[in-house]
Structure 1
Amino acid sequence: MSQSPRTLSRRFVLRGLGTAVALPLLDVMSPTRLLAATSNGGPPPLRMGFFYVPNGIHMPAWTPQKEGRGFELTPTLQKLAENKDSISVLSGLTLDGARAHGDGGGDHARSVAAFLTGAHPRKTNGADIQNGVSVDQVAAQYVGDRTRFASLELGLEASSQAGNCDSGYSCAYASNMSWRGPTNPMAKETDPRALFDRLFAGQTVKETRRAKSEREKYRKSILDFVSEDAKRLHAHLPIVDRRKLDEYLYSIRDVEKRLDGAEKLGLTEEGVPDYPRPSGVPQELSRHSDLMMDMVALAYQTDSTRILSFMFTNAGSNRAYKEIGVNEGHHELSHHGKSEHKQAEIAKINSFHAERFNYLLSRLKLIREGDGSLLDHCMIVYGSGISDGDRHNHDDLPILLAGGGGGRIRAGQHVRYKNGTPLCNLYLWMMKQMGANADSFGDSNSVLQGLG
């Protein structure tokens, strides 16, 4: 460490063999590295995120009856109770690009392809895919150069770039919601260990391979390679920043331990010894999701990126959720035909997803940044491009906006818009908060009001 903590750069990292560990926002860091910073100091950077759940939602268990700040949490939203003051429920928003417009079936593929683009994707299962540019990638054009990663695309199921996945629509539509260009979907990272390595890997391939080999040989933590640099920095920091650094380094080591645990299958009922798994993806969806949410928190905390998207599963996913007692496929259940049993099972899946999202919000709220929490400096959309899975309708969508937006969002309220209000109006508002100079996006017809 060669810099004085009085002038510590926001881009300062702890270095070791093939490893570069970015730091969280510390009080001693120069404000000139922060978004909208001035000579008198500036606020922490604003983060943007989009989290997608497939197959619609059981709306009676989602939509609050009351509007404003006095709304009551519905059964599904009850999973977010501890973060109620940090979420806004937005009813009445519509995704017109996901409608058929003469193209027949394929609502699932269209719902995710249009979710961040607002475009109507060309119906094809060949190479001639055509969509719009997604809002996250537009925002990345404005702020992506301020971080190591312009954006991150994440999920729990891998992306596909070819094949027929929904009534003649390419799998590229059904499994990707981030689009760099009309023909360029952004594939997701689904392996938490691979993502961890991306966030904390060394500066060259050769160094990274050597460091990885050393860690595997001696079972060392990433932090073991930067410990000397961390000690030198720690000794010169004020007490408050020492505490922040300690908490951050603890969270990294904790994630590492759980990643190591995720690579073991454990003893079978017959007592067969465990053995290494071929990847870092846990079998249990809840553990997989929580590890990925840990990665999201670390990516935001270190300012490695300010923009990311996350798909819980791909559009039309027929995954069964046996760990919560749902043995039937999600897609099949979504075609409930008003069956009380199927709707109850869908509500269980919806609650499971909401609980996993709540885990992330709670992590972000615990991380202190500036005069508040990391969650205070985020604006994160959670929802689906389909409302009722049985009707395949794309109006009155289940949409949440989480975080304080750096003081721009009056969270803790239910806002009901006129049914048919474009979802892209919300995106246009978000883009402007990120500094994007745009007058329209997708099918927007104005900037969404009522958020501040």
Structure 2
Amino acid sequence: MNKKWQISRRKLLKGVGAAIALPFMEAMATPLGLRSYSNDGFPVRSTFMFMPNGVHPGRWTPEGVGRDYTLSPTLAPLSHLKDDILVLGQLMNKHSIFQGADGHYAKTANLLTCLPIQKTAGDNINSGGISIDQLIANHYKNETLFPSLEYGLDRIQTGVDINVGFTRLYASSISWKNAMTPLSKEIDPRMAFDRLFRTFIPGNNKQENPYKSSILDAVLADAKSLKNNLGRSDQDKLEEYLESIRSIEKRINNQESLKDFASNITPDIKRELIRVNQDIEEYAEVHSGVNVTEKTRLMFDIIALAMWSDASRVATFMFGNSVSNRNFSFLEGVNGAHHSISHHMNHPGKMEQYDRITKWHLEQYAYFLDKLKSIKEGNGTLLDNSLVMFASGLRDGNRHSPRDLPIIVGGHGGNKIKSGQNLIYKENTPLANLYTSWMQAVGMNETKFADSTGTLEGILA
């Protein structure tokens, strides 16, 4: 079967009370030459990932420069993706040095704005300006169901860190709609999934859980009808996409099955039970060494689905809030919490644990890149048409150093990025230069972002 016909990129599979976006398929390909799109006619997707607390300073940097480089032991989880990543050295966010103030907050809230934040202990927060992810989201305005997605593992923090005099609100966001408006992040995989792929599916029984049925069942007839008009390649892609949605549904529903309540519990009691249960989960997850690997990967699978279906082309993900003290004792050889261990005082045992925590984060990053690479798109993969940043706002948690930030960019940006390199720039090269390069890679006609002095040499094709 080799049917050739055109369908809209905004096409949805629809059923009774439900609708889901479709993946990009050959029948949706955009004519060549349009801005913001790869050579195959697919858009470039952007994801920005934040890891708190820095890295082991002596184990991060690869050996060699350019394409002839060897990954460091810390970066070993990315060894099979060596040709798909850029490791960038000596970049600095100069405005993260805040009037001599030590700490994390001025190195987190402005990671994607590259502008000075306003020091405050109240809610009069100011990140200096719009973040790069939101500029890109505005570039794609009205082309996707959601302009951007903001996900993470930790709730928004409130109150004041009395050690440095900053509101903890700065710890919780890297995405800013404007200087005074941070975008809140979703931390629950169920909520993230439902917002993207599930609408209320009505049942005859008003007490029935509206989420018990799969959304795929509701749109099955429309999916079958569409499939009959697709070529073989698009049929396979649609089948793979729907199976991916089904897989995530099953994993989430298995986790949620223990949270059902008896029907005779009043709504007020149920609301309070849910609140307390969430508080307990939050405390246990952060302080008791609960393994968050599956939760993280669920979130990554949802982001991948969003990018694949073109529900959104921009996402941010925070592995933890700034100063996160998540307990990582679920890792072999680690016995303690992230922020505490990051203040290693050069103790060999703590530095080893610090490095193992960083490797865990990189393993999850590799999982996401592998996921994108497994999804075929045109003549390449979704990773070929993506850019995925992994970064921390400081180099070494022990010194809170903002220089030579640990930064990796995965993906090929629609073949507009020269991946597979380790590039070391002049000391204190503006981090904003990366974002200026990024904007050009996604097709924006911009030559400056924040304090940028140009693009990064050697990365644009």
The question of a shared fold, defined as TM-score above 0.5 by the shorter chain, is answered with yes
Quote the Cα distance in structure 2 between the aligned partners of 1:119 and 1:161.
22
Letter in 1 for 2:186: E
Aligned to 1:312: 319
Quote the Cα distance in structure 2 between the aligned partners of 1:211 and 1:25.
35
Shift of 1:210: 5.9
Aligned to 1:273: none
8 Å Cα contact 1:112-1:173 kept in structure 2: yes
Aligned to 1:229: 222
Quote the Cα distance in structure 2 between the aligned partners of 1:78 and 1:301.
27
Instruction: Calculate percent identity across the aligned residue pairs.
Output: 39
Report matched runs for 1:278-289 at 5 Å.
Answer: 284-289=291-296
8 Å Cα contact 1:36-1:43 kept in structure 2: no
Quote the Cα distance in structure 1 between the aligned partners of 2:245 and 2:211.
18
Aligned to 1:67: 65
8 Å Cα contact 2:342-2:397 kept in structure 1: yes
8 Å Cα contact 1:34-1:44 kept in structure 2: no
> CA offsets, 1:345-370, max 9 Å, x none?
00010000000111100000000001
SS in 1 for 2:62: coil
SS in 2 for 1:89: strand
SS in 1 for 2:357: helix
8 Å Cα contact 1:144-1:306 kept in structure 2: no
Q: 1:324 aligns with which of 318, 331, 339?
A: 331
Aligned to 1:90: 88
Letter in 2 for 1:47: R
Aligned to 1:392: 400
Q: 1:241 aligns with which of 234, 258, 264?
A: 234
TM-score (norm 1): 0.89
Determine if the alignment matches structure 1 residue 191 to structure 2 residue 184: no
8 Å Cα contact 1:143-1:434 kept in structure 2: no
Q: 2:251 aligns with which of 254, 258, 275?
A: 258
> CA offsets, 1:67-111, max 9 Å, x none?
111211212211112211111100110111111324x23x31111
Quote the Cα distance in structure 2 between the aligned partners of 1:155 and 1:436.
27
Letter in 2 for 1:182: A
> CA offsets, 1:409-434, max 9 Å, x none?
11111011011100110001112223
8 Å Cα contact 1:35-1:44 kept in structure 2: no
Report matched runs for 1:325-404 at 5 Å.
Answer: 325=332, 326-404=334-412
Q: Which structure shows the higher helix fraction? A: 1
Quote the Cα distance in structure 2 between the aligned partners of 1:71 and 1:144.
39
Letter in 2 for 1:235: N
Count of residue correspondences: 432
Aligned to 2:178: 181
Shift of 1:29: 1.9
8 Å Cα contact 1:10-1:34 kept in structure 2: no
Aligned to 1:171: 168
Deviates more, 1:397-406 or 1:276-285: 276-285
Letter in 1 for 2:224: K
Shift of 1:160: 3.1
Letter in 1 for 2:434: L
Can you give the 5+ residue segments of structure 1 that lack an aligned partner in the other structure? 267-275
Quote the Cα distance in structure 1 between the aligned partners of 2:205 and 2:341.
44
Aligned to 1:22: 21
> CA offsets, 1:9-40, max 9 Å, x none?
111111112221111111112526996389xx
SS in 2 for 1:418: strand
Determine if the alignment matches structure 1 residue 127 to structure 2 residue 134: no
8 Å Cα contact 2:201-2:210 kept in structure 1: no
Quote the Cα distance in structure 2 between the aligned partners of 1:345 and 1:393.
19
Letter in 1 for 2:404: D
8 Å Cα contact 2:133-2:175 kept in structure 1: yes
Quote the Cα distance in structure 2 between the aligned partners of 1:33 and 1:232.
28
Letter in 1 for 2:218: F
8 Å Cα contact 1:127-1:162 kept in structure 2: no
Quote the Cα distance in structure 1 between the aligned partners of 2:156 and 2:31.
38
Report matched runs for 1:25-104 at 5 Å.
Answer: 25-29=24-28, 31=30, 36=35, 43-102=41-100, 104=101
> CA offsets, 1:227-275, max 9 Å, x none?
1111111122111111111111111101111111222569xxxxxxxxx
Shift of 1:42: 5.4
Shift of 1:309: 0.8
Shift of 1:284: 2.9
SS in 2 for 1:451: coil
Quote the Cα distance in structure 2 between the aligned partners of 1:108 and 1:13.
43
8 Å Cα contact 2:74-2:358 kept in structure 1: yes
8 Å Cα contact 1:109-1:165 kept in structure 2: no
Shift of 1:208: 5.6
Quote the Cα distance in structure 2 between the aligned partners of 1:425 and 1:212.
57
Quote the Cα distance in structure 2 between the aligned partners of 1:448 and 1:248.
36
> CA offsets, 1:142-178, max 9 Å, x none?
1132111111111111123554476111111111111
Query: Structure 1: which 4+ aligned runs deviate by more than 4 Å?
Result: 32-35, 207-215, 276-283
Letter in 1 for 2:322: A
Quote the Cα distance in structure 2 between the aligned partners of 1:67 and 1:408.
20
Deviates more, 1:23-32 or 1:215-224: 215-224
Aligned to 2:264: none
SS in 2 for 1:144: coil
Quote the Cα distance in structure 2 between the aligned partners of 1:12 and 1:34.
22
Aligned to 1:297: 304
Aligned to 1:269: none
